[in-house]
Structure formats: structure tokens, C-alpha cells
Chain A
Amino acid sequence: MTTSAGSTSPDLAYAKGLARAFAGAIIFGLPLLMTMEMWFLGIALHPGRLVAFLLVNFVILVGLSRFGGFERTDSLFEDVMDAFAACGVGILGAAAVLALFAIIGPAMPADEIAGKIAIQSVPMSFGAMIARKQLSGGGAEPQDEKEAVREASYGGQLFLMAAGALFLAFNVAPTEEMQLIAYLMSTWHLLVLVVVSLLLLHLFVYRVGFAGQKERAEGHGAVRTFLAYTIPGYGIALAVGLFVLWTFGRVDGTAYDQVAATMAVIAFPGALGAAIARLVV
């Protein structure tokens, strides 16, 4: 990992980065660490799906290191190293906080402890990566040539949207409320929700524009922007929603229309996550 400017020793800078990573992990992970459903998911999740989820998370972390953030990395190898470090911070942080809350303890079987830590390490590793990339303050100037090239990559933009969608969707998906909301809503509510999600996604990213955010791509009309960013962004939010639902076993034995309804509910925070991805990561 590249060290931030102004430090005398690279090791000291790395240690500071790690401390920041732990802080970010706890800030980002705390809502889910204190969510009851997450503790049960650690026990009840299908092991294969948990592994798939962790693998996807790892790929997202590598991508975040590559495309996101204000700190330049020199090689893919460095990104993989960063991702491993974030995973490590996530696992250690999750273990520490869960132990502190007495959610895990020495009397529990090892697979229960491992499951609970593994699922919680996902949001925490995400927070660790963001914190190291984002909170590092006076790092290298982002406007060098390489960063600019990366900034412009369309695939990179889609990837960041997926990361943002996954993070926000995952923050709400484990709760029972997700299903309950889908069951309470009528078909018309759901259709309006889809339209509102698309509208907000479109407005947030390419009309309102946050400080420091990518302006609406120059030379692109509203229609092209909608087709190139909003529609793929919502598709990503839906796909991420389905993946999260599948991971949590909410798709099994469930009719298509019920799955679609829950997807639409999860895609709402997902779409917002995709919209603000450039702001957060």
C-alpha cells in the first residue's frame, strides 16, 4: 500500500492507516453488529453461500482498492494485499466487538463462532477499506494522470455502483422488516417504488450532483445518461438485491412474484447506494 505523504517512516504511516481502518470498520459495521438477525445468520447460513458471499466481498474489496478512493495504488498485487488487510481488520474487529457484546463466547462451538464472525466481517472489511482510502486526509493529489484515466473508466463506474449498492442493501437486507415491507406493499406500491428508485437514482447522480462528485458526463444528454448510467445502475441494484436474498436463503421455496417484490424493496436502498457510490467510496 502506498503511504500517505508527510510521514517519516513508512511503517508508522501503515500503522496509522491500520488504526484508521479499525475505526472505519467499527463505524461501518456497528449497525449490523447490533442487529439480531445477523447473529442468527452466522449460524443458519448455508456454508456454501457464506463462502460465495465472502468471495464476492473480496472481489469488491480488490475493486474498491483499484477504482475507489483517493489513494493511488501501483499494481493489482497491491490491491489484493489491501483487500487481505481489510479482511483481516474486518475479522479481528468483528471478533473483538462480538466478544465484547457476549454474542460469542468460549462456551460456543467453533463453527458458530466462525460463522458469526465471518458474516460480520463483510461490512467491517468494507468500512476498513473505505476508511483507509477515504479518511486518510492529506494523501496524494488525486488529479494525476493515472487517477484521471481510472476516473473515466465506464466499467469502473459500474463497479463502484455495484459496491455502493451491495453495501447499502446488505445493511438492511438481514432484517425481517425487508420481507415484511414487501408483504405489506400492494402491487401498485411496488410499481411506484420501482419508478421512485429509478427517478432518485437518476436525479441524485446526474442532476443534483454532490460536491466533489463526477458531473454529468459532458456531451451526454439526459436520455443517454439515463440509458448509460441510471438503467444499468438500477439493474445492478436489483441483481445485488437478488444475490443478497439468495445468500440469506430468502429465495428458497418462494414464488417468483414474492422474490421480485422483495428485490424491489431491497433495490431501493441499493439504488441509493449506487447513486452515492462516488461520494462514499
Chain B
Amino acid sequence: MAKAKTKPPVLEWIASAIGLLLTLGVVAVIARDAFNGSAGMAPDIEVVVREQQQVGSRWLVRFEAHNRSPVTAAQVTIEGALPGGETSTATIDYIPGRSTRGGGLVFSTEPRGVRLRPLGFQDP
């Protein structure tokens, strides 16, 4: 700095303020969970159908899996079952806490009355 011992330039104030805001913001969001004791909680996954469509000779059911707990689940297997007995499964690598991930299940018949549920998961 050519002008040492002078008042800080405006850009320095701005950069410092933005940096401080970002840092404190991230810390605040992370720290929010420190005190509500999520340690003993388990993933809580709810699966809903987003859309159904015919793809060639097969049927595709697009779903969304939402994890309602703050705890992340890995390798989540989602199963769709038709009243006729046909089943289809898909595996989602990660569903972070309070987050949503999507996927698709393929059936050979029209998936009327399809029921979706998580079969299981792995702790990350």
C-alpha cells in the first residue's frame, strides 16, 4: 500500500463488510443446528409422485423424495409397488437433511394406484 497509515479506502470498507457478512451468515446458518440436538435423530423420508408418463412401451413414474429430518441419508432405496404386484426400485446416493432429491421408476403397465415408499438407507 502506497498510502500507509491513512484512512482505509472505500473499497476496503466494502470488501471487509461483505466478507464479514458472508462469514457470519454461513456461521449462523451452520450454528443454528448446534443447539437443537439433531444427534439422536434419524432420516425421515417421504416420497411423492411428481408425474407419470408413457415412454415407448413402458411407463415412467417420476418421484420426489423429501428428507424431513435434519439428518442426511445415503443410498436411499425407493420402491414403487402397483396393486397388480409389479414393483420397481431406484437408489438415490444422498438425500441431505431437509432437502429433496428426485428420481424415476419404470413399470411395464400403467402405474395406476402406485404406492411409493423408502425401503432403507445407509448412514453417510
Contacts and interface: CB of A to CB of B under 8 A. Distances in A.
B16 A227 contact: yes
Contact of B15 (A191, A228, A255): A228
Interface in B54-98: 70, 72, 74, 93-94, 96-98
Given A176-B93, A194-B30, A257-B30, A235 B99 contact: no
Contacts of A220: 1, 4
12 contacts: A183-B72, A187-B31, A194-B26, A218-B4, A220-B4, A235-B23, A255-B70, A256-B29, A257-B29, A258-B98, A261-B30, A267-B26
Contacts of B29: 256-257, 260
Interface string A126-168: 0000000000000000000000000010110010000000000
B4 A217 contact: yes
A232 B2 CA distance: 20
Contacts of A227: 12, 16, 20
B26 A264 contact: yes
B100 interface: yes
Contacts, number: 111
Contacts of B74: 183
B26 to A, nearest CB: 5
Interface string A237-270: 0110000000000000111111011011001000
Contact of A191 (B1, B11, B27, B101): B27
A188 B33 CA distance: 10
Nearest to B14: A232
Given A154-B11, A232-B18, A183 B98 contact: no
Nearest to B72: A183
Contacts of A176: 93
**Which applies to chain A's interface (DSSP): helix, strand, loop or mixed?**
helix
Contact of B4 (A179, A219, A232, A236): A219
A239 B19 CA distance: 9
Given A219-B4, A228-B8, A255 B26 contact: no
A184 interface: yes
- 5 tightest A-B CB contacts, nearest first: A219-B4, A235-B19, A255-B98, A232-B15, A232-B19
Nearest to B25: A260
B5 interface: yes
A145 B102 CA distance: 57
Contacts of A233: 19
A238 B124 contact: no
Nearest to A197: B23
B1 A238 contact: no
B30 A260 contact: yes
A60 to B, nearest CB: 18
B112 interface: no
A228 B30 contact: no
A238 B11 contact: no
A176 B34 CA distance: 25
Given A154-B11, A234-B22, 18 more contacts: A154-B12, A176-B93, A187-B30, A187-B33, A187-B34, A219-B5, A220-B1, A227-B12, A227-B20, A232-B15, A235-B19, A235-B21, A253-B99, A254-B100, A255-B96, A257-B70, A257-B98, A258-B97
A233 B23 CA distance: 10
